[in-house]
Structure 1
Amino acid sequence: MMKELDITDRKVAQQVLDLQLSSYRVEAELTGFDGIPPLRDTVEMLISSGETFYGWYLGGELAGAVSYKLEEKVLDIHRVMVHPRHFRKGVATALLQSLLDSTTAVHRVEVRTGSLNHPARKLYRRLGFIEVGEEETAPGFWMTRFTMVRDGDAG
Structure 2
Amino acid sequence: MILSTPDPALDRFFAAALLRLQQEAYRTQAELIGSDRLAALAADEDSLPAWRGRYLVAWEGTQLLGAVAWRPGATVEVDRVMVDPPARRHGVAAALVRVVLDEAGPAPVVTFTGRANAPGIALYRRLGFSPVADEQATSGVWFTRLRRG
Tell me which interval the TM-score lies in, with the shorter structure as reference length: over 0.9
Q: Report deviation, 1:140.
A: 4.4
Q: Unaligned stretches of 5+ in structure 1?
A: 150-155
Question: Match for residue 103 of structure 2?
Answer: 102
Question: Match for residue 132 of structure 2?
Answer: 132
1:18-29 superposed matches below 5 A: 18-29=20-31
Root-mean-square deviation over aligned CA pairs = 1.2
State the TM-score, normalized to the length of structure 2.
0.94
Task: Report sequence identity in percent.
Answer: 35
2:88 maps to 1:90: no
After the TM superposition, which segments of 4 or more aligned residues of structure 1 sit over 2 Å from their partners?
none
CA deviation string 1:31-83 (max 9, x = no partner): 11001110000121111111211101124311000001123x11101110001
| Correspondent of 1:66 among 46, 62, 68 | 68
CA deviation string 1:129-153 (max 9, x = no partner): 010001011454210000011xxxx
CA contact (8 A) 2:69 2:78 kept: yes
Report the count of equivalent residues.
147
- Report the Cα distance in structure 1 between the residues aligned to 2:104 and 2:8, rounded to whole angstroms: 19
Query: Of Structure 1 and Structure 2, which has the larger fraction of its residues in strand?
Result: 1
Q: Report deviation, 1:103.
A: 2.9
Q: Unaligned stretches of 5+ in structure 2?
A: none
Q: Report deviation, 1:29.
A: 0.4
